[in-house]
Amino acid sequence: MTLHPPLPVADDISRPYWAGIQDRKLLVQRCSQCERLQFPPDAACQACSSEDIVFEEMSGRGKVFSFSETVSGARHPYFQSISPYLVGMIELDEQEGLIFPSNFPGSTYADLEIGAPVELEFQEVADGVLIPQFALSMPKAGR
């Protein structure tokens, strides 16, 4: 058996988001009333409670918001197998406070710094199952 991280389980609210990911598109909900973007998907706008929300494709560009390296304490066998690993959050360019998790594929801890530009890519975590990740757009020396 190949180890893999816990796989996404879509529900009625998140189904369009996960379908977009499988099509290599990052779809985020935008409120038609107040125009705010929100993630994760919800049944109503988290700012104004309107239920008039639609999914919209994002550019996939953002910046490192926070980062850390997990060196111990992973309980899931997959995460034990890849320890130490990077984990953190990125902020999409489309809106302040629009935050996504990432493992910064291809980077080391020393490569990361707050505000460094990142770009969306997709990681196949199991047969045909994609998740979004955000990788540094350029090496540290080029920033």
Report the nearest approach of Zn ion to the CB of residue 52 (Å).
8
Report the nearest approach of Zn ion to the CB of residue 43 (Å).
12
| DSSP secondary structure, 40-80, as one string | S--SS-TTT--S-EEEEE---EEEEEEEEEE-S---SHHHH
Which long-range contacts (C-beta less than 8 Å, at least 24 apart) are formed by 102-106?
102/132, 102/133, 102/134, 103/133, 104/64, 104/67, 104/133, 104/134, 104/135, 104/136, 105/133, 105/135, 106/135, 106/136
Report the nearest approach of Zn ion to the CB of residue 11 (Å).
21
Q: Does 50 bind Zn ion (CB under 5 A)?
A: yes
With contacts defined by CB under 5 A, name the span among 39-47, 69-77, 83-91, 100-108 that binds Zn ion: 39-47
**Interface pick for Zn ion out of 45, 58, 118, 120 (rule CB under 5 A):** 45
Report the nearest approach of Zn ion to the CB of residue 32 (Å).
8
Interactions with Zn ion, residue window 5-34 (CB under 5 A): 31, 33-34
b or e along 76-90 (b: 16 or more beta carbons within 10 Å of the residue's beta carbon)?
eeebeeeeebbebeb
Count of residues near Zn ion by CB under 5 A = 7
With contacts defined by CB under 5 A, name the span among 21-29, 43-51, 85-93, 131-139 that binds Zn ion: 43-51
Interface positions with Zn ion (CB under 5 A): 31, 33-34, 45, 47-48, 50
